[in-house]
């Protein structure tokens, strides 16, 4: 039952946002009493923490699986982007923004975990790209991996990129292209152009 509560809460939180979803909404979605939820979670904050950890671990496992496929680094980044967007349902409710606003302590812990995972993944991607001649050999991979992380988080800020003006899917597409254009070699640009055409 605890797993079922977490899964239902994740779906509702991602779709409607952390603020607007109540414990009653979650209980109604599953078809149980609110009291049953409280036997597993003391309050909504505890449930939010459990759902964010579960979602983070699920996404991290999915990213690890993509990285283990050993595809070319540009393909890898596009696969990761698609996987994360599907997992977060294109982030229409801006879950990260709401988490930071209403549950800052949880958000800060998750941000640190996310950085650790993304830093390792991005550094490996950059090294592989350089080795394969798709990324420029003169880039500072530590700087690029961090600036990529900053950008990924920045484009999720609704005050900077309101959804009405900047649809999430397009913003992620544009940012990934922006990131790659700054680091690819002429050979890498040929590969990148194939993905740009495929995604148009």
CATH number at 2-199: 1.10.357.10
Can you give the pLDDT of all 200 residues of the chain as single tens digits?
A: 999 999 999 999 988 889 889 999 999 999 999 999 999 999 999 999 999 999 999 999 999 999 999 899 999 999 999 999 898 876 665 677 788 889 999 999 999 999 999 999 999 999 999 999 999 999 999 999 999 999 998 998 888 998 889 988 899 999 999 999 999 999 999 999 998 888 75
The secondary structure of 49-103 as a DSSP string is HHHHHHHHHHHHHHHHHHHHT---HHHHHHHHHHHHHHHTGGGTT-HHHHHHHH-
For residue 171, the 8-state DSSP code is H
**In terms of C-beta density within 10 A (0-12 exposed, 13-18 middle, 19 or more buried), how is residue 132 classed?**
middle
> Would you say how long the chain is, in residues?
200
Neighbours of 73 (CB within 10 A): 25
């Amino acid at each position: 039952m605890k797993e079922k509560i977490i899964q239902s809460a994740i779906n509702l939180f991602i779709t409607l946002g952390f603020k607007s979803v109540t414990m009653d909404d979650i209980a109604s979605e599953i078809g149980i009493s609110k009291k049953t939820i409280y036997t597993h979670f003391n309050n909504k904050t505890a449930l939010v923490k459990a759902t964010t950890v579960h979602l983070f671990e699920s996404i991290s496992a999915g990213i690890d699986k993509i990285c283990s496929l050993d595809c070319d680094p540009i393909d890898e980044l596009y696969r990761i982007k698609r996987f994360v967007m599907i997992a977060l349902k294109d982030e229409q409710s801006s879950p990260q923004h709401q988490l930071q606003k209403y549950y800052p302590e949880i958000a800060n812990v998750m941000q640190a975990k996310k950085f650790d995972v993304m830093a390792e993944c991005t550094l490996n991607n950059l090294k592989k790209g350089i080795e394969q001649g798709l990324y420029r050999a003169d880039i500072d991979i530590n700087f690029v991996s961090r600036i990529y992380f900053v950008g990924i988080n920045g484009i999720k800020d609704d005050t900077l990129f309101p959804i009405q003006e900047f649809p999430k899917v397009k913003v992620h597409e544009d940012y990934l292209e922006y990131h790659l254009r700054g680091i690819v070699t002429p050979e890498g640009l040929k590969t990148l152009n194939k993905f740009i055409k495929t995604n148009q």
